[in-house]
Homo-oligomer: A and B are copies of this chain.
Amino acid sequence: MKYMIYNKPFLLSDIFMITIAIDMMGGDAGLAVTAPACADFLNRYSDAHLLLVGQEDAIYQAFQAYNHLQERWTIIPATEIVAMDEAPQHALKHKKDSSMRVAINQVKEGTASAAVSAGNTGALMATAKFVLKTLNGIQRPAIAKFLPTKNNDTICALDLGANVDCPSEQLLQFAVMGSQLVKAMHPEKSNPRVALLNIGTEEIKGTDTIKMAYSLLSQSQLNFVGNMEGSEIFDNRADVMVCDGFVGNIALKTIEGTAHFMGNAIKNEFKNNLYSKFSAVLALPVLNKFKKQFDPRRYNGAIFLGLRGIVIKSHGGTDALGFGYAIEEAYREAQTNLLSKIEEAIAVELTSIEENTTKE
């Protein structure tokens, strides 16, 4: 039996599908990157359905090559595009029919379980916050990301740039959200270790805000393992790293810069003379494997945490492979009950803080 949705027929089995809304026009390259990434994703995940949001004709044309997948994609028209350098407030006020906004609307209306965009980060955050609102108990959303650590493990780092100034209670909220995200995405980690990014491991280190956050985290129900220095990010000492968005963004980009610089330096070293050119040929497969392990595209897909809906931000300059990883991140997250778990965990912390305050 067939029903009609968005003028397309769908089967009842479709309701067991994971539907994700994609901002097709976002990112430095727009459709040139998003279209092949979506097609490749649909090829790999047969239980996925994509809502392709953006300029109808252009998307339709780009998808002619993927007619065999057409049962699992639906175009949702949106006439406007948010520019990569547009002021977030401008996009929010004047681009109500942008591909970004309409994609987020799908999450709000329940037609999609998650939205993915490679567009302007500030505009995406402002729009997502405005359209979806924050979860109960969460003051401001944060940007989270899983980074690789030793032993092939990962650490969930947040906030990576949504909030430049964060009072200590917000850092506690980030910790709760990060902890729940780790549990949802890595069920084997039943009690994630939470660390506070600081300039020393001792309790007395850092700014007043950081010291207060240390105290709040110590009293929380979380598995707080104390302060962590920048040098320990990759040491697998914690599953969640909490910091404000300014520090987190500096740390994340410093990692990217260092990795890039070192990668180039080793390449140049091998190019230096005949002997090393020769050894480079032999070392190439190893170096390539190494490069692949650190490929930033594999870790593409930053998560906007704390909203009443799942929104994933892809790097604006990524290629189809990287954008595909961001869609996958959304697909996997959409299968968890992360949002209700966050609300539950935040409620527990709020009750506990209230009780402590009453006692005092």
Contacts and interface: CB of A to CB of B under 8 A. Distances in A.
Contacts of A231: 253-254, 256-257, 260
Contacts of A287: 266, 269
A246 B282 contact: no
Nearest to A255: B258
A166 to B, nearest CB: 10
Contact of A164 (B165, B207, B266): B207
A309 interface: no
Interface in A253-281: 253-262, 264-266, 269-270, 272, 275-276, 278-280
A290 interface: yes
Contact of A234 (B206, B210, B257): B257
Contacts of A246: 199, 206-207, 210, 247
Given A276-B285, A276-B286, A282-B278, A250 B230 contact: yes
A106 interface: no
A276 B260 CA distance: 23
A86 interface: no
Contacts of A245: 199
Interface residues of A, number: 55
Interface string A190-228: 000000010100000011001000000000000000000
Contacts of A265: 150, 290, 293-294
B269 A275 contact: no
Contacts of A359: none
A322 to B, nearest CB: 16
B264 A266 contact: no
B251 A251 contact: yes
Contacts of A234: 257-258, 260-261
Given A259-B258, A259-B262, A286-B279, A161 B253 contact: no
Interface of A: 149-150, 161, 164-165, 197, 199, 206-207, 210, 229-235, 243, 245-247, 249-262, 264-266, 269-270, 272, 275-276, 278-280, 282-283, 285-287, 289-290, 293-294
Given A251-B251, A258-B259, A279-B279, 9 more contacts: A229-B257, A254-B258, A255-B258, A265-B293, A266-B290, A269-B287, A279-B283, A279-B285, A279-B286
12 contacts: A164-B199, A199-B245, A199-B246, A199-B253, A230-B249, A231-B256, A233-B257, A262-B294, A265-B294, A270-B283, A279-B283, A282-B282
